[in-house]
Amino acid sequence: MILLIRNHFTSFYPDIREKLTIYRPVELFLIFLPQILGFGSLHNFKRRYILNNNQSDNERVSTAVLLAAGTGSRLYPLTKNMPKCLTEVSGIPILERLLTNLTLHGFKRLIVVTGYLQDHIKNFLGNRVGEISIDYVFSPLFRTTNNIYSLWMARKLIKEPFLLIESDLVFDDVLLDAMVYPDRIAVAKIQPWMNGTCVTINKSLQVKAFLPDSVYSFGEQKYKTVNIYCISLDSWHSVEKTLDKHIAAGNVNNYYETVFAEMIADGSLSFETVSFDGNPWYEIDTIEDLITAEELFPVNNYLTTPKVTSHLPDLLNMELINASIASKEIIPG
Chain-centroid distance of CA 182 in Å reads: 15
Question: What value does the mean pLDDT of the chain take?
Answer: 80
Mean pLDDT across 128-150: 96
Whether the per-residue pLDDT at 155 is higher than 80: the answer is: yes
Q: Which residue has the higher pLDDT, 4 or 285?
A: 285
pLDDT in tens, 17-68: 444 444 455 544 555 554 554 444 454 444 444 445 555 566 899 999 999 9
Residue 281 CA: distances (Å) to CA of 21, 172, 289: 34, 6, 11
* Residue 87: partners with Cβ closer than 8 Å, 6 or more residues away: 72, 75, 78, 79, 93, 94, 284, 290, 316
Instruction: Quote the CA–CA distance of 111 and 73 in Å, as a whole number.
Output: 23
Whether the per-residue pLDDT at 93 is higher than 90: the answer is: yes
Q: Facing residues of 171 across strands?
A: 281
Task: Convert the chain into a string of H (helix), E (strand) and C (coil).
Answer: CHHHHHHHHHHHCHHHHHHHCCCCHHHHHHHHHHHHCCCCCHHHHHHHHHHHHHCCHHHCCCEEEEEECCCCHHHCCCCCCCCHHHCEECCEEHHHHHHHHHHHCCCCEEEEEECCCHHHHHHHHCCEECCEEEEEEECCCCCCCCHHHHHHHCHHHCCCCEEEEECCEEECHHHHCCCCCCCEEEEEECCCCCCCEEEEECCCCEEEEEEECCCCCCCCCCEEEEEEEEECHHHHHHHHHHHHHHHHCCCCCCCCHHHHHHHHHHCCCCCEEEECCCCCEEECCCHHHHHHHHHHCCHHHCCCCCCCCCCCCCCHHHHHHHHHHHHHHHCCC
Nearest to 47 by CA among 207, 203, 177: 177
Minimum mean pLDDT among 44-48, 172-176, 196-200, 283-287: which range? 44-48
> pLDDT band at residue 4, thresholds of 50, 70 and 90?
very low
Whether the per-residue pLDDT at 293 is higher than 80: the answer is: yes
Whether the per-residue pLDDT at 310 is higher than 80: the answer is: no
Instruction: Quote the CA–CA distance of 100 and 286 in Å, as a whole number.
Output: 23
The radius of gyration of the chain from alpha carbons, rounded to an integer in Å, stands at 21
> pLDDT band at residue 323, thresholds of 50, 70 and 90?
very low
> pLDDT band at residue 2, thresholds of 50, 70 and 90?
very low
pLDDT at position 211 is: 86
pLDDT at position 98 is: 97
pLDDT at position 197 is: 86
pLDDT at position 139 is: 97
* Residue 167: partners with Cβ closer than 8 Å, 6 or more residues away: 66, 67, 68, 70, 83, 84, 85, 94, 95, 98
Q: What is the CATH number of domain 53-181+223-257+280-301?
A: 3.90.550.10
Mean pLDDT across 150-165: 98
Percent of the chain past pLDDT 70, that is, above it, reads 70
Buried residues in 165-190 as b, exposed as e (16+ CB within 10 A)? bbbbbbbbbbbbbbbbbbbbbbbbee
Whether the per-residue pLDDT at 283 is higher than 90: the answer is: yes
Mean pLDDT across 251-262: 96
Residue 115 CA: distances (Å) to CA of 54, 82, 96, 119: 39, 11, 18, 9
Whether the per-residue pLDDT at 311 is higher than 50: the answer is: no
What residue ranges do the domains of the chain occupy?
2-36, 53-181+223-257+280-301
pLDDT in tens, 101-122: 999 999 999 999 999 999 999 9
